[in-house]
Structure 1
Amino acid sequence: MKFGVCEQTLHSRLGPMAVVESGYRTAKLGGADSFWLPDHLNNLLPQSLMTTKHSGAAKWIPNIDAVVEPWTALGYLAGRHRYQRPLLGTAVTDTGRRNPAVTAQAAATLHLMTRGRTILGIGTGEREGNEPYGVDWSKPVARFEEAMATIRALWDSNGQLVDRDSEWFPLKNASFRLPPYKGKWPEIWIASHGPRMLRATGRYADAWFPVGIVSPEQYGEGLQKVREAADDANRDPQSITPANTQFVVTGRSSDEVDEALNSVLIRAFALNIPAWAWAEHGVQHPLGENFGGFQDILPQTFDEQSALAYAAAVPTSLIKQFVLTGTPDEVVDRISVWREHGVRYPVLINASSMQEKLSRGLKAALPFVQILRRIRKM
């Protein structure tokens, strides 16, 4: 079972790359096969809660919306750690605010720099990184499908000029002449959830890479749909890697984990879980019964009072269902359940640092590494 580590792209008082470097070294220490960075202009957590009153990490990261650009950061890592071999990827890049030709160029460039160790994680993106910046958010899936077709057309052009009609990204005498590395382009890992996106995954993806906001059973059902779509597209269904992204809250004991789960920021994180999942716990999402979670949230607009009220409404059972919580043994047991339903490549994000006590967040780093090392043995 292969696995990866994803780290937040937070600028800190220690510099723009300190958090990223720390995550990369954790991935190496835990024996991870890959290292990933998200692609956001701001955070999916409310900045109004990033104060020392609510988070110990605020001393070092005063502004949670100050995030660095991932392709630049990955290029930095590739140059600084040129003799190390983990794959580097985005989890995930956006087809809303990025022209697909630029994405194709960025991924191909990093692939050449890393001698074939780049993965293009890609998805529709989220409202918070598009709509506030003037990007039309009315048809994110249609835009995504056209972006994928554009990237494939450019990569498969063999340097010939490309003409392609498209509502979103028409090509006219478009040239793409960067070469693949030893005849291979970066793998494409698609973050998808809805039926139309699952079909697109079957057509275009080398891996299915959703965020773990479904149950293991629902994951297995989605994987079957992806494989059926691949078969319909005359692709080998088994060639698509079953991956996912999972958030982890861990500690040295159950008491430490329970303490972390009561932290305001970790509870506020659950606002990114869609309303249908809240309803399964007998609670309406504070932002509405049809709220789409991380794809719809605009956390930069929440004042402190509103954010605290929203966080207080979160049932702990909801967090425990959709976040891998517990001691290392408990987390690994839960990953085993996901494996039983098809996952073969989890990518883990250590969310333990979001808790109120900085010392607890720092101490959770060791249990997280223990989780990584135990996955290696699965």
Structure 2
Amino acid sequence: MIRTGLVDFGMHTRFSPDLLMRNSRTLAALIGAESLWTPDHLINVIPQSIFVPRYVGVSRIAPRAHACYEPWTELGYLAARNRLSRLLLGVSVTDAGRRHPAVTAQAAMTLHHLSRGRAILGIGVGERENNEPYGVDWSRPVARFVDALATVRALWNSGGAPVNRESEFFPLRDAVFDLPPYKGTRPPIWVASHGPRMLRATGRYADGWYPAFIRDPVEYERKLELVRAAASDAGRDPSTIVPALNLPIVVARSEDAVDEILDGVAAKAMALALPATDWSAHGVRHPLGDDFAGAQDFLPQTLDEATVLRHVETVPTSLLRSGAIMGTPESVVDQVAEWRDRGMRYFVPLDVSSLQPSLRRGLASTKPLVKAMRAIKRL
């Protein structure tokens, strides 16, 4: 059986500060999700220049594309309202670039206590957009991430004793971490990893693998084997690592409706955050350069409307459909089954069905999503 979660956008709205949060919590209950996640962004991946009603109907409700909530604060708010639903609460994912790992360790353990043991520490390298504009060095994000992950583990395992640890990025000198586990448990660590070094770190340190940029189920299976091999090399049981998946999802009542969403400016603009290698696989050059690394290097706040419109003219539909799950509820269930057959056991979609010009259709997309997710849980 597939376990499921849901990603909340973590954005401020025009009418109520917690409007999207309340909607996400209700939606999670309707689909029977086990967990609710929120991103760690200062800047979102969609350019503000096209986040206007002409292209995105829901911008009438949430007009500021980059009005992102701080995730640990949001999850603390949700934890206080989580006594009945008992959802697991996770960050999708914590930015190891701009957050010191001691603060991350403290935030996650605090949430674990306040949520009565229901916190998940999702963590990854982060993105250039949320680091470089704020003066954070972005020259060696993977090395910084690996060091951050080891630091979190060292502090959690210290038992409150002073920790001394040599480290290129986060040296510890008589550092004390005295927050105890909650009833003997610590938040599981889920790592968003894709490259070889990150996959090895996942196998060595993580409790869950939580990739977001995987092109197809075959690639997922291959990388999952690398994670499990790294776990074995570290003397860990590979079967204890949860094989999860975080992908964009577009669900509509008909394939024509899906095609209409994919033909919109907003959906095509999101393709700008894909790496140049993904574009070249579809016979198209990335407008941001042949060496563009994707979301990790994307700076959407620098793109004006005319530039975005010019860039999206070259986006092929096949590119949008790769590395995402799209279709009618029945088609979506069949697609998720392919990932299950390659080892995936925990599905956490980011629903982008609302990113279309029609506000009414965007809001109505919830119904086919609920139908699909309920069926996915029975796979």
Task: Report the TM-score range of the alignment, normalised by the length of the smaller protein.
Answer: over 0.9
Q: How far does the alpha carbon of each residue in 1:169-206 deviate from its partner, in whole angstroms, 9 at most, with x for none?
A: 11111111111111111000000000010000010000
**Are 1:35 and 1:88, in contact at CA under 8 Å, matched by a contact in 2?**
yes
Counterpart CA distance in 1 for 2:100 and 2:25 is 28
Counterpart CA distance in 2 for 1:362 and 1:352 is 9
Q: After TM superposition, what 4+ stretches of structure 1 lie above 6 angstroms from structure 2?
A: none
Alignment of 1:161-172 (within 5 A): 161-172=162-173
SS at match of 1:325: strand
SS at match of 2:174: strand
**Are 2:194 and 2:213, in contact at CA under 8 Å, matched by a contact in 1?**
no
Counterpart CA distance in 1 for 2:225 and 2:166 is 32
Please name the residue that 2:81 is paired with.
Answer: 80
Counterpart CA distance in 1 for 2:293 and 2:6 is 26
Q: How far does the alpha carbon of each residue in 1:236-264 deviate from its partner, in whole angstroms, 9 at most, with x for none?
A: 11111110101111111111111111111
Please name the residue that 1:152 is paired with.
Answer: 153
- Segments of 5+ residues of structure 1 without an aligned counterpart are none
Please name the residue that 2:94 is paired with.
Answer: 93
Please name the residue that 2:182 is paired with.
Answer: 181
- Offset, 1:360: 1.1
Please name the residue that 2:193 is paired with.
Answer: 192
Counterpart CA distance in 1 for 2:259 and 2:84 is 40
Question: Superposition RMSD on alpha carbons, in Å?
Answer: 0.9
- Segments of 5+ residues of structure 2 without an aligned counterpart are none
- Residue type of the partner of 1:266? A
Please name the residue that 2:261 is paired with.
Answer: 260
Percent identity over paired residues: 53
SS at match of 2:354: helix
Aligned residues: 378
Please name the residue that 1:121 is paired with.
Answer: 122
Please name the residue that 1:307 is paired with.
Answer: 308
Counterpart CA distance in 2 for 1:15 and 1:313 is 38
- Residue type of the partner of 1:345? Y
- Offset, 1:16: 2.3
Please name the residue that 1:272 is paired with.
Answer: 273
Please name the residue that 2:350 is paired with.
Answer: 349
Please name the residue that 1:210 is paired with.
Answer: 211
1:329 aligns with 2:330: yes
Alignment of 1:210-249 (within 5 A): 210-249=211-250
Alignment of 1:356-375 (within 5 A): 356-375=357-376
Q: How far does the alpha carbon of each residue in 1:115-157 deviate from its partner, in whole angstroms, 9 at most, with x for none?
A: 1111000000000000100000000011001101110111000
SS at match of 1:322: coil
- Offset, 1:82: 2.1
- Offset, 1:312: 1.6
Counterpart CA distance in 2 for 1:264 and 1:39 is 25
SS at match of 2:247: strand
- Offset, 1:268: 0.5
Counterpart CA distance in 2 for 1:30 and 1:250 is 14
- Offset, 1:23: 1.2
Counterpart CA distance in 2 for 1:59 and 1:330 is 30
Counterpart CA distance in 1 for 2:90 and 2:282 is 34
SS at match of 2:3: coil
Counterpart CA distance in 2 for 1:103 and 1:16 is 24
Counterpart CA distance in 1 for 2:71 and 2:287 is 31
Q: How far does the alpha carbon of each residue in 1:55-112 deviate from its partner, in whole angstroms, 9 at most, with x for none?
A: 1111111110111111111110110222321111011001111000000000000000
**Are 1:16 and 1:68, in contact at CA under 8 Å, matched by a contact in 2?**
no
**Are 1:213 and 1:273, in contact at CA under 8 Å, matched by a contact in 2?**
no
1:25 aligns with 2:26: yes
SS at match of 1:42: coil
Counterpart CA distance in 1 for 2:222 and 2:5 is 23
